[in-house]
Amino acid sequence: MKIIAFIPARKGSKRVADKNIRLLGGQPLIAWTIEAALATGLDMDVVVSTDSPEIAAVAKHYGAQVPFLRPEQLAGDTTPTFDVLEYTLDALKTAGKDYDAVVLLQPTSPLRKSIHITEAMKLLEQPDVRSVVSVSELDYPVEWSMMLPEDRRMDGYIVQNEQALRTRSQDFPKRYRLNGAVYCAKTADILQHKSFYMRQGTSAYIMDKMFAVDIDDSFDFEYAEFLINR
């Protein structure tokens, strides 16, 4: 299959300024994802979509393609990632580049390795699989989570969950969360469904939580730096 590794990296960031090019472990955040994609050995174009000439320059330096800057209307806080992906696929198809499959790699998952990408793509080769989404095991039982009222009283939660509160964490069944590190799909399917989450044919790819750190704020940077140093 001819594959596009799509890395969305807009300039704006509310919590951390210039997040995608902030240094982590001695190199820009986005570089970790570019290097992981290039190291897979797959027949894959690594394409960064950004509205920033500075991010584009960094991406090219680390070996990614930046065929164009995305338009301003696709660079807002609320712009869906799929809209940017669809725009990119259409523009590249017009330029003569067509792809059988898409791998979405968000730069905010810097500890994801090339093996995770290749293993997820291997799952996509199965005849009944149309999309692959990476997940990690939850740290705590979901029964121990709650919504608090304004007065922060836990009475209602305790009444409804008394048995769960008496249960050891290891006695609950394993549950998993989306981790945002790897998304794969066949191009025709994602363009038809406009999502990686398809009602039929979506398979989970399980990753150890150590590799699934999601960079959202300064604490996440510090935690990722700690793991890299270890």
Please give the helix or strand (H or E) that residue 221 lies within, else none. Answer: helix 218-229
Residue-level pLDDT at 16: 79
Which three-class secondary structure state does DSSP give residue 180? strand
Among all chains, which residue has been given the structure tokens 């399980």? 206
Please tell me whether the overall predicted TM-score, pTM, comes out greater than 0.75 for this model. Answer: yes
Residues 6+ apart with CB under 8 A from 201: 128, 129, 130, 131, 189
- Give the pLDDT mean for 153-159: 94
Q: Is 63 left (phi over 0), alpha (psi -120 to 50) or beta?
A: left
Distance, C-alpha 201 to centroid of its chain? 19
- Per-residue pLDDT at 12 exceeds 90: no
Let me know if 8 is exposed, middle or buried by CB neighbors in 10 A (0-12, 13-18, 19+): buried
Among all chains, which residue has been given the structure tokens 């950004």? 50
Q: Which domains does the chain have, with CATH numbers?
A: 3-138+174-229 (3.90.550.10)
Pairwise CA distance, residues 96 & 211, whole Å: 35
**35-39, 62-66, 78-82: least confidently modelled range:** 78-82
